[in-house]
């Protein structure tokens, strides 16, 4: 262990684990559709309708999400408005609850008996196409914002300074500098948002009405009709846009020097621009907060919408139906995923980032980011086929494993990028001085990447608490996470209970996010 001479063995073991937990289950799903008449499935009228609906709603939602997120990112990054960091945090709040909760919030606001529907006497509720689009925008907006903000934050400002000195006007600067810089990253954002909306079933399940989409059709086939073969065929179609996004990101990944330094683009204070940016950001945050606030309102009323009196009866009923027990399941799963997932992702990233020239490292890197191309519904049904009948099936460990694999790509890339920026000669210098690589890792590298490790653990925990798609086919009465109660209560028209569960998940995730925030500040001050 001292010199990690067994590094190839460790890579082999890690690669074998990923193959067994990711590649083999996907192969099982694909093999399951080999004997199915695919043509019969795709010729069904409901399949064609669901495919058309998915494409139309996804394209519309993607365009709207990116436009709104672009201006929000510009307001946060390219203005000097007050409270920029606060607006940035509020803009990511929708990431802390399941997508189905966004649909439920819209139903409570703009459904047939929605508060805004009744207040303004709206004649047309939001169910259907525009409901799916609105919910998808709420769901995808934070992802688009974070990606665009990261692109804008790391844009080199020196070309703009040179262009200004040379007297080049702003419109020509945009065409000659900004547009070429944004072109490839923006395509990656479009792919990511499109895939996120296309493969989501929470929003259309809650607010779509008769406007069915492919993920909802797959969910109905598997959960409602127990038709796993037909569900596998539909799942293979859900893989197509995710696989295209994955291949584009892989082929166009920046291979430049990771130690490249840049000059941040300077932002001067302009009163009108900053005021407009603040107004826009405030409006966006209010729109985001309205559906979230509805959960708290609905939790503490007697019976929506007939009896709006304050009551704790729905909380008591929800707890009696097992919400407390299932919340414990969720916390245990999330904690296990955050610890084990962070250790696994960091270990893989260490071997791939610190020895990038080896063919084994490149293969391990490719397998590690493969989960980016696998929607949660597809991964869940794949686990059903591969692990059914095993000791793992039906246990909490199964849900821990599926969540680790489902969410590991992003934390892995966090660690991969951080480790790649450290001095590449650290281990060689240590060996020259008689210090083994293990001690360099423990005493130098891990302390240098503590904040990244915290972010990785936070990412795993938050997403494990709120996920529904990856665990919807795997949850049982014994291992069920609390997030699955949302779909159960929605089907029973017990919206007050679903709102309370959403509030519980939001509260847990906010607590973890705040704890990580203060811990990061403490580490940064040391």
Summarize pLDDT for 155-204 with one digit per residue, the tens: 656 666 666 666 777 667 666 666 676 777 788 788 889 988 998 888 99
Rounded CA-CA distance 374/370 in Å is 7
Evaluate whether 485 touches 321 at the Cβ level (below 8 Å).
yes
Domain assignment of residue 341, given as a range: 1-32+313-526
Q: Say what the pTM is.
A: 0.85
Q: Is 307 part of any domain?
A: no
- Looking at the fold, whether 290 and 199 belong to one and the same domain comes out as yes
Number of domains composing the chain: 2
Query: Do 288 and 353 belong together in one domain?
Result: no
* Rounded Cα gap, residues 482 and 328, in angstroms: 8
Yes or no: say if 364 and 352 are a contact pair by the CB < 8 Å rule: yes
Residue 260: the pLDDT is 43
Cis, bond preceding 305 (omega within 30 deg of 0): yes
With respect to residue 241, please indicate whether it lies within any of the assigned structural domains.
yes
Residues 293 and 399 in one domain: no
* Residue 433 CB neighbours (<10 A): 8
95 with 2, same domain: the answer is no
Does residue 73 share a domain with residue 25?
Answer: no
Find out whether 213 and 201 touch, Cβ atoms under 8 Å.
yes
Confidence of residue 485 (pLDDT cuts 50, 70, 90): very high
| Rounded Cα distance, 365 and 397, in Å | 25
Tell me which H or E stretch contains 377: helix 376-387
- Please check whether residue 308 lies inside any domain of the structure: no
In a domain, 108, yes or no: yes
Q: Could you report the per-residue pLDDT of 69-108, keeping only the tens digit for each? A: 999 998 988 888 888 888 988 898 888 888 888 888 898 8
Q: Is residue 422 in a domain?
A: yes
Q: 264 - beta bridge partners? A: 156
Q: Are residues 384 and 452 in the same domain?
A: yes
**Does residue 381 register a pLDDT over 80?**
yes
Same domain, 495 and 354: yes
pLDDT of residue 4: 45
The answer on 392 and 257 residing in a single domain is: no
First to last CA, the chain: 30
Name the pLDDT band for 256 (thresholds 50, 70, 90): very low
Position 434 scores a pLDDT of: 66
Among the candidates 299, 323, 349, a domain finishes at 299
How does the average pLDDT of the chain come out, rounded?
Answer: 84
Which range, 223-227, 261-265, 270-274, 467-471, has the best average confidence (pLDDT)?
Answer: 467-471
- Taking the C-alpha atoms of residue 169 and residue 330, their distance in angstroms, rounded to an integer, is 55
pLDDT confidence of residue 257: 41
Q: Is residue 349 part of a domain?
A: yes
d(CA 415, CA 345): 7
What is residue 182's predicted lDDT score, i.e. its pLDDT? Answer: 74
Q: Are 50 and 137 in a shared domain?
A: yes
- State mean pLDDT over 32-61: 84
The residue from 233, 268, 299 where one domain ends is: 299
- 301 pairs with which residues across the strands? 310
Amino acid 180: pLDDT: 73
- CATH number at 93 reads 1.10.3720.10
The answer on pLDDT for 135 being more than 90 is yes
3-state helix, strand and coil shares in percent for the chain, rounded to the nearest 5: 75, 0, 25
Q: What pLDDT is recorded for position 126?
A: 86
Do residues 508 and 520 touch, judged by C-beta distance below 8 A?
A: no
Residue 326 lies in a domain: yes
The pLDDT score that the predictor gives to residue 302 is 84
317 shares a domain with 267: no
Is the model's pLDDT at 317 over the cut of 60? yes
Q: E-strand spans in 201-254?
A: none
Which of the 8 DSSP states describes residue 44? S
Do 26 and 108 lie in one domain? The reply is no
Final residue belonging to a domain, choices 299, 330, 351 = 299
Same domain, 295 and 317: no
Does residue 306 fall inside a structural domain?
no
Residue 3 confidence (pLDDT): 43
| Cα-trace Rg, the chain | 24
The pLDDT value recorded for residue 154 is: 67
Phi, psi angle pair for 264, to nearest 5°:
-65, 145
Helices (H) and strands (E) in the chain, counts: 27, 2
Q: How many Å apart are CA 367 and CA 365, to the nearest integer?
A: 6
């Amino acid at each position: 262990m001292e010199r990690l001479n067994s590094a190839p063995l460790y890579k082999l073991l890690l690669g074998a684990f990923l193959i067994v937990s990711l590649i083999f289950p996907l192969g099982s799903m694909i093999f399951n559709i080999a004997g199915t008449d695919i043509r019969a499935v795709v010729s069904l009228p409901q399949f064609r309708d669901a495919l058309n609906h998915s494409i139309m709603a996804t394209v519309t939602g993607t365009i709207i999400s990116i436009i709104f997120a672009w201006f929000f990112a510009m307001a946060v990054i390219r203005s000097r408005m007050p409270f920029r960091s606060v607006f940035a945090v509020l803009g990511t709040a929708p990431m802390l609850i399941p997508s189905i909760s966004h649909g439920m919030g819209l139903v409570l606001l703009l459904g047939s008996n929605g508060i805004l529907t009744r207040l303004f006497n709206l004649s047309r509720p939001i169910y259907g196409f525009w409901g799916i689009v609105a919910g998808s925008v709420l769901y995808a907006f934070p992802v688009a914002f974070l990606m665009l903000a990261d692109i804008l934050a790391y844009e080199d400002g020196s070309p703009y300074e040179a262009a200004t000195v040379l007297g080049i006007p702003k419109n020509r600067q945009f065409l000659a500098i900004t547009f070429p810089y944004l072109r490839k990253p923006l395509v990656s954002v479009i792919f990511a948002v499109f895939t996120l909306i296309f493969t989501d079933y929470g929003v259309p399940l809650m607010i779509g009405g008769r406007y069915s989409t492919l993920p909802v059709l797959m969910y109905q086939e598997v959960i409602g009709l127990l038709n796993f073969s037909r569900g596998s065929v539909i799942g293979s179609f859900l893989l197509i846009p995710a696989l295209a996004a994955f291949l584009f990101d892989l082929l166009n990944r920046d291979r430049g020097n990771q130690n490249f330094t840049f000059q941040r683009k300077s932002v001067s204070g302009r009163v009108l621009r900053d005021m407009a940016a603040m107004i826009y950001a405030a409006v966006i945050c209010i729109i985001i907060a309205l559906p979230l606030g509805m959960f708290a309102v609905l939790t503490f009323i007697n019976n929506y919408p007939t009896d709006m009196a304050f009551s704790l009866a729905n909380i008591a009923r929800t707890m009696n139906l097992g919400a407390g027990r299932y919340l414990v399941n969720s916390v245990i799963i999330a904690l296990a995923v955050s610890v084990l997932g962070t250790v696994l992702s960091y270990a893989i990233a260490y071997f791939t980032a610190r020895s990038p020239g080896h063919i084994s490292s490149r293969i391990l890197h490719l397998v590690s980011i493969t989960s980016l191309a696998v929607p949660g519904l597809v991964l869940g049904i794949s686990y059903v086929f591969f692990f059914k009948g095993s000791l793992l099936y039906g246990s909490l460990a199964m849900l821990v494993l599926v969540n680790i694999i489902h969410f590991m790509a992003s934390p892995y890339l966090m660690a991969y990028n951080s480790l790649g920026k450290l001095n590449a000669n650290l281990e060689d210098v240590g060996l020259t001085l008689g210090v083994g690589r293990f001690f360099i890792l423990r005493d130098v590298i891990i302390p240098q990447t503590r904040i990244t490790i915290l972010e990785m653990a936070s990412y795993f925990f938050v997403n494990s608490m709120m996920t529904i798609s990856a665990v919807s086919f795997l949850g049982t009465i014994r291992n069920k996470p609390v997030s699955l109660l949302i779909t159960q209560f929605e089907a029973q028209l017990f919206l007050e209970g679903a709102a309370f569960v959403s509030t519980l998940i939001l509260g847990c995730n906010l607590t973890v996010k705040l704890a990580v925030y203060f811990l990061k500040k403490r580490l940064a001050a040391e």
